[in-house]
Chain A
Amino acid sequence: MTATVGQEQAAARANDVWKVYGSGEAQVAALRGVSAEFERGRFTAIMGPSGSGKSTLMHCLAGLDTVTKGTVMIGDTTVTGLNDAGLTKLRRDKVGFIFQQFNLLPTLTAQENILLPLSIAGRKPDPAWYDVVIDTVGLRDRLGHRPAQLSGGQQQRVACARALVARPEVIFADEPTGNLDSRSGAEVLKFLRNSVREHGQTIVMVTHDPTAAAYADRVVFLADGQIVSELIEPTAETVLDTMKKLDAPVEVGN
């Protein structure tokens, strides 16, 4: 099935995307003709069992991985076929990342980590927005600390601030709560949802945690490299139900 939203413009879009690894006998198709749109100003979760291709889809959407067939667009930029320089520019201007492992530079302070993408691109932060971000993540008194001096939740909030501060077209979050206890996880998810509701940020999150997916506005389900279902305004229960159906041996339609 195809997950589309009939809105004026999508922040990210996949069009009949195939991703095939290996060749000949050992050929494995991770994505099989996925088409999806992720609309602006919304929080979308991608769910699916292990090996469903959800991470691959995100990597392809973000331009981290190439697609075998089909096209990927972010905003009005066609990602497919961009060279390294084009991809670098894309990552600078339009894409933000939040990782499961936080991926902060251990040698830099929290503030330096947050400002790193801007300083790499050689830009100055917008002070008003920077203040908003810092206040939203609630880290003002921790800015001079190094990652090792912060708790896991705090580190992930630094990572979120880092993704937000450049105001990218879309933020891709890869299991952002995977390494956090449930309380810190909830904090981070609330914070992500707020940044969508209050500041119109677009977020695409990959997760296998139904509770986390419930924070999203919409959930897209993947199985065996294809989109098999979707939920609007999900709750943990509806997500869990859908997941159970996906795990069932019988192919579930829409």
Chain B
Amino acid sequence: MLRATLKSLLARKLRLLLSGLAVVLGVMFVSGAFVLTDTLGRSFDAVFADAYAEVDVSVEAKPKIDVSTAEGMPLSTPMPASVLDRVKAVPGVADAAGVVAAEGARMIGSNGKVVTSFGPPQLGQNWLGESDLLELREGRGPQADDEIVINAALAEAGKVKVGDRVGVLTLAPKKEFTLVGVFGYSGGRDSIGGANEVYFTTPVAQQLMLGKPDVFSNISVQAADGTTPAALRDELARTLGADYQVKTGEQLAADASAGLKEGLSFFNKILLGFAAVALLVGTFLILNTFSIIVAQRTRELALMRAIGASGKQVIGSVVLEALAVGLIASVLGLAAGIGVGALLAYLFGQLAGGLTLAGLGVPASAVFGAFAVGMLITVVAALLPALRASRIPPIAAMQDVATPDRPLTKVTIGGAVVTGIGAVLLFLGLGGHAGDSTLATILGGVLFAFIGVALLTPIISRPVVSLLGAMFSWSVPGKLGRLNSGRNPRRTAITAAALMVGIALVTGVTVILDSAKGSIGALAEDTIKAELVISGSTSGPRPASFDPAVLEKAAAIPGVQMVDGEYGDMAVVGGQRTWVAVSSNVAALQQIFGAKAAAGDISKLAPDQMLVSSDTAKARNLSVGSTVPVQLSRGDARTYTVSGIYESSQLTNPVTLPPQAAADFAIPQPIQGFLQLAPGTSVDAVQPQIERLLADSPEVSVADRAGFIEQQTGQLDSLLQMIQILLALAIVIAVLGIINTLALSVLERTRELGLLRAIGLRRAQTMRMITVEAVVISIFGALLGVVVGTGLGAAVVEALKDEGITDLILPWGQMVTFLILAAIIGVVAAVLPAIRAARINVLGAIAHD
């Protein structure tokens, strides 16, 4: 029995591998994700172990706001320089140095643009001389206040050399320095993990990076001989008390690495998401292939039953076949996944500015995941056909048992129930009734909806396919093709369903993003009463910001009626982490952003007053006159009194603080500026003047309203493109499914095709007949996909109404493109099967047994 199974498997290896390809791709994503995560994770470990190799123990003050590392670098609280003396006095300390190191030193390259890094920090630090790790390649260390040294990778990226005057943006606006030295790291490296580093003299670093003199961000301690770092850490912690965090170098490395790995796991989830899509489509494909194979082997399986095989043995043989296919697909997928993982890790390393990759890692999870997923999916998909195979009566070996056209009632009822479950899950998830498991509920809803619709497809296919086919009925081959595509509604349905999944996801995402884009545009267009907007794209680790002096100068330009700079920070308000904002011009709330007062006065703010939105007021039970303690990123906690409440809208922030508070923000500079012009003032006349003001703030630019909207929605466009490219994969898999189905239909109908040829159907007509069948199936699938995708997208948009996506925008153009694309897919998929059908030997086909 085993041998019979394996031999029959070998006889169909090409077809099975074709359907296995979907599993190969899915497994590739799964194992690729694990390989990437593992390789990069170990690379990060190595980078940070290196970066902290010189540090035995590090002392820093507790941060004011506990930012999780995934959200950004925690802003260390500056500690007074006097702590250094206390640390030096602790027994076991051989040496200690006060270190200034903070995120946010952005150097301007020779092209006038800020040198960005895509992820790794841009550190501003105080120069403490060369060390075992750090070696000057050129020049000397900074001695005067206008001198800096930078690492070699940054010098190369910014195309600057020793002796140049270079601008650096810090907490303060742009300042010019002379580059006096370029350094590298032991082992000839130009950067550690892609970080850009600028070293100042200590007083300058303190002022620019920490905002005040005589403070350090941490103290780096060398243990004396005979003292272990751990022991010294405990001793220091005891001496310094609870206000300070004391960690060993190893701990610091592990913490820093863990933060990045957390960010990496997000990327991992995206890859796994695409794996899920590929596998879902693959499941349809495998289900279909095995169904067809079982149907083709009816006589053979009946023979097995007649000579004594039990139903279980027949199920076993089909499942075994599936296992073998799954095994081979998993092996291939794993190999491809290792390749993809390695490639992505390499690209990631390049993008991150030359991250030195640790050796390629294939963790056990990658291997285990690959085989578990690949084999499980294949077997699950083959289970239904296997069951059907076991129900073949042995008598079918003796006579041509016409497989009765089973009624679609059961499938349809099942489909309706599953679709219903999907709808309920979607309703719960999108309506926010699912609590913590919202995402899981939504995904489950989508999955159920897909499976449910797939089950409903056979019944839908009858009217729709005959309607679609009517387009081709003007010729005999067209008519035959249409009738053929309606002949086996189940097979047509599953094939179309595979295409549906891909198209539905793309359509759904397009609907959501287009709606988001339209809503943002409409919002900016209708509500923001500003003709010019200063902003920058946030591609780096921190939002772009600009010199606050620009705001005052802009206000002085004739024709400018009102100017507002917006600042933002994550703060702790009344014990809860909350986004707080500062409007440099409080009056702008009403006049530019159209805020409406719900209580109190929202047109002005005293230094100890705050405004809150009506939602915040409701959630926190605040009213005018309530007092709330607020801890910002810097400085000490302060208590503010609520002086006004504005109606919540898309444009209002939960909390607005007086302009004075911005100095204690992590980024004490405005990140957006809004300019309202006097009536009759030409935008074109003012814009160049603002551009000149922004000469020293190269991170941002000024745009008119249309430009601003484009800038804001441009990121959505690239996101959409990325998703479309990845989902195109699902569509490619579906095309394989169509080819597979057609090839098998041709094989099944050899005799019939021979007969048609014998009574005079020409080769070209035969090919046209097959092509029509393919086109009808694929357009049907695309149509379903567009409808389901639009439904899902509209549901999500409806659910996001409160988040600001107010307009439902249907991408009609895209939808038509999908349908045309589907027709092309059908033609392409039909090529090989059509050629095969046209080549059928007429006599052989009729005599064929």
Q: Is the CB of A107 within 8 A of B398?
A: no
* Interface membership of chain A positions 89-116, coded 1 if the CB is closer than 8 angstroms to chain B and 0 otherwise: 0011100110111010111100010001
Q: Is the CB of A117 within 8 A of B395?
A: no
Provide the bound-state CA to CA distance between A91 and B307, in Å.
6
Checking A55, A93, A105, A119 against B8 with a beta-carbon cut-off of 8 angstroms, the contacting residue is A105
Q: Is the CB of B310 within 8 A of A85?
A: yes
In the assembled complex, which residues on chain B have CB atoms less than 8 Å from the CB atom of A84?
310-311
Known: A64-B306, A99-B397, A105-B303. A112 touches B311 (CB 8 A): no
Q: Is the CB of B398 within 8 A of A64?
A: yes
Provide the bound-state CA to CA distance between A96 and B394, in Å.
12
Any B CB within 8 A of the CB of A120: yes
User: Looking across the interface, which residue of chain B has its beta carbon closest to that of A63?
Assistant: B394
Q: Is the CB of B310 within 8 A of A97?
A: no
Any B CB within 8 A of the CB of A32: no
Any A CB within 8 A of the CB of B541: no
Provide the bound-state CA to CA distance between A107 and B306, in Å.
18
Q: What are 10 A-B pairs with beta-carbon distances under 8 A?
A: A88-B309, A91-B306, A97-B306, A107-B10, A108-B4, A116-B304, A116-B307, A119-B3, A120-B307, A174-B398
Provide the bound-state CA to CA distance between A166 and B307, in Å.
10
Q: Which of B4-59 contact A (CB under 8 A)?
A: 4, 7-8, 10-11
Provide the bound-state CA to CA distance between A21 and B132, in Å.
95
Provide the bound-state CA to CA distance between A41 and B299, in Å.
30
Q: Shortest Cβ distance from A119 into chain B, in angstroms?
A: 6
Any B CB within 8 A of the CB of A65: yes
Known: A107-B11, A117-B308. A112 touches B394 (CB 8 A): no
In the assembled complex, which residues on chain B have CB atoms less than 8 Å from the CB atom of A108?
3-4, 7
Any A CB within 8 A of the CB of B85: no
* Interface membership of chain A positions 169-203, coded 1 if the CB is closer than 8 angstroms to chain B and 0 otherwise: 00000100000000000000000000000000000
Known: A85-B310, A103-B303, A162-B307. A120 touches B1 (CB 8 A): yes
Checking A91, A92, A112, A174 against B3 with a beta-carbon cut-off of 8 angstroms, the contacting residue is A112
Q: Shortest Cβ distance from B2 into chain A, in angstroms?
A: 8
Q: Shortest Cβ distance from B10 into chain A, in angstroms?
A: 7
In the assembled complex, which residues on chain B have CB atoms less than 8 Å from the CB atom of A85?
310
Q: Shortest Cβ distance from A170 into chain B, in angstroms?
A: 14
In the assembled complex, which residues on chain B have CB atoms less than 8 Å from the CB atom of A55?
398-399
* Interface membership of chain B positions 367-403, coded 1 if the CB is closer than 8 angstroms to chain A and 0 otherwise: 0000000000000000000000000011101110000
Contacts A97-B397, A99-B303, A103-B300 given; 5 further ones with Cβ under 8 A? A91-B307, A103-B303, A105-B300, A116-B1, A116-B304
User: Looking across the interface, which residue of chain A has its beta carbon closest to that of B309?
Assistant: A120
What is the interface of chain B, defined by CB distance below 8 A to chain A?
A: 1, 3-4, 7-8, 10-11, 299-300, 303-311, 313, 393-395, 397-399, 849
In the assembled complex, which residues on chain A have CB atoms less than 8 Å from the CB atom of B308?
88, 91-93, 117, 120-121, 166
Q: Shortest Cβ distance from A68 into chain B, in angstroms?
A: 16
In the assembled complex, which residues on chain A have CB atoms less than 8 Å from the CB atom of B849?
101
Provide the bound-state CA to CA distance between A107 and B293, in Å.
15
Any B CB within 8 A of the CB of A59: yes
Q: Shortest Cβ distance from A104 into chain B, in angstroms?
A: 8
Q: Shortest Cβ distance from A223 into chain B, in angstroms?
A: 21
Q: Shortest Cβ distance from B301 into chain A, in angstroms?
A: 10
Q: Is the CB of A91 within 8 A of B394?
A: yes
User: Looking across the interface, which residue of chain A has its beta carbon closest to that of B6?
Assistant: A107
Q: Which of A112-160 contact B (CB under 8 A)?
A: 112, 116-117, 119-121
Q: Which of the listed residues B4, B7, B305, B398 has the most CB atoms from chain A within 10 Å of its own CB?
A: B398
Q: Shortest Cβ distance from A59 into chain B, in angstroms?
A: 6
In the assembled complex, which residues on chain B have CB atoms less than 8 Å from the CB atom of A59?
395, 398
Q: Shortest Cβ distance from A95 into chain B, in angstroms?
A: 8
Provide the bound-state CA to CA distance between A161 and B3, in Å.
19
Provide the bound-state CA to CA distance between A92 and B305, in Å.
9
Q: Is the CB of B7 within 8 A of A107?
A: yes
In the assembled complex, which residues on chain A have CB atoms less than 8 Å from the CB atom of B399?
55
Provide the bound-state CA to CA distance between A103 and B299, in Å.
8
* Interface membership of chain A positions 6-50, coded 1 if the CB is closer than 8 angstroms to chain B and 0 otherwise: 000000000000000000000000000000000000000000000
Q: Shortest Cβ distance from B506 into chain A, in angstroms?
A: 41
Q: Which of the listed residues A91, A93, A174 has the most CB atoms from chain B within 10 Å of its own CB?
A: A91
Provide the bound-state CA to CA distance between A121 and B399, in Å.
24
In the assembled complex, which residues on chain B have CB atoms less than 8 Å from the CB atom of A106?
11
Q: Which of A74-88 contact B (CB under 8 A)?
A: 84-85, 88
Q: Shortest Cβ distance from B306 into chain A, in angstroms?
A: 5
Q: Shortest Cβ distance from A161 into chain B, in angstroms?
A: 12
Q: Shortest Cβ distance from B321 into chain A, in angstroms?
A: 12
Provide the bound-state CA to CA distance between A121 and B304, in Å.
11
Q: Shortest Cβ distance from B394 into chain A, in angstroms?
A: 5
Q: Is the CB of A88 within 8 A of B307?
A: no
In the assembled complex, which residues on chain A have CB atoms less than 8 Å from the CB atom of B8?
105, 107
Provide the bound-state CA to CA distance between A105 and B3, in Å.
12
Checking A65, A93, A116 against B4 with a beta-carbon cut-off of 8 angstroms, the contacting residue is A116
Q: Shortest Cβ distance from A107 into chain B, in angstroms?
A: 4
Q: Shortest Cβ distance from B1 into chain A, in angstroms?
A: 5
Which 3 A-B residue pairs are closest in the complex by CB-CB distance? A92-B308, A107-B7, A64-B395
Checking B10, B304, B398 against A120 with a beta-carbon cut-off of 8 angstroms, the contacting residue is B304
Provide the bound-state CA to CA distance between A65 and B308, in Å.
15
In the assembled complex, which residues on chain B have CB atoms less than 8 Å from the CB atom of A65?
395
User: Looking across the interface, which residue of chain B has its beta carbon closest to that of A118?
Assistant: B308
Provide the bound-state CA to CA distance between A119 and B308, in Å.
10
User: Looking across the interface, which residue of chain B has its beta carbon closest to that of A101?
Assistant: B849
Provide the bound-state CA to CA distance between A100 and B400, in Å.
12
Known: A88-B309, A120-B304. A64 touches B394 (CB 8 A): yes
Provide the bound-state CA to CA distance between A112 and B11, in Å.
16
Q: Shortest Cβ distance from B847 into chain A, in angstroms?
A: 13
In the assembled complex, which residues on chain A have CB atoms less than 8 Å from the CB atom of B11?
106-107
Provide the bound-state CA to CA distance between A85 and B303, in Å.
16
In the assembled complex, which residues on chain A have CB atoms less than 8 Å from the CB atom of B3?
108, 112, 119
User: Looking across the interface, which residue of chain A has its beta carbon closest to that of B394?
Assistant: A64
Q: Is the CB of B307 within 8 A of A107?
A: no
Q: Shortest Cβ distance from B822 into chain A, in angstroms?
A: 37
In the assembled complex, which residues on chain B have CB atoms less than 8 Å from the CB atom of A166?
308
Q: Shortest Cβ distance from A210 into chain B, in angstroms?
A: 22
User: Looking across the interface, which residue of chain B has its beta carbon closest to that of A146?
Assistant: B7
Q: Is the CB of A119 within 8 A of B397?
A: no
Provide the bound-state CA to CA distance between A93 and B310, in Å.
12
Checking B4, B311, B397 against A88 with a beta-carbon cut-off of 8 angstroms, the contacting residue is B311
Q: Shortest Cβ distance from B579 into chain A, in angstroms?
A: 67
In the assembled complex, which residues on chain B have CB atoms less than 8 Å from the CB atom of A93?
308
In the assembled complex, which residues on chain B have CB atoms less than 8 Å from the CB atom of A116?
1, 4, 304, 307
Provide the bound-state CA to CA distance between A105 and B11, in Å.
11
Q: Is the CB of B397 within 8 A of A117?
A: no
Provide the bound-state CA to CA distance between A124 and B311, in Å.
21
In the assembled complex, which residues on chain A have CB atoms less than 8 Å from the CB atom of B305?
88, 91
Q: Shortest Cβ distance from A239 into chain B, in angstroms?
A: 23
User: Looking across the interface, which residue of chain A has its beta carbon closest to that of B398?
Assistant: A174
Known: A99-B398, A174-B398. A88 touches B306 (CB 8 A): no
Known: A107-B10, A112-B4. A88 touches B398 (CB 8 A): no
User: Looking across the interface, which residue of chain A has its beta carbon closest to that of B299?
Assistant: A103
User: Looking across the interface, which residue of chain A has its beta carbon closest to that of B849?
Assistant: A101
Provide the bound-state CA to CA distance between A38 and B673, in Å.
102
Provide the bound-state CA to CA distance between A228 and B313, in Å.
41
Q: Shortest Cβ distance from A112 into chain B, in angstroms?
A: 7
Q: Which of the listed residues B303, B307, B311, B849 has the most CB atoms from chain A within 10 Å of its own CB?
A: B307
In the assembled complex, which residues on chain A have CB atoms less than 8 Å from the CB atom of B313?
120
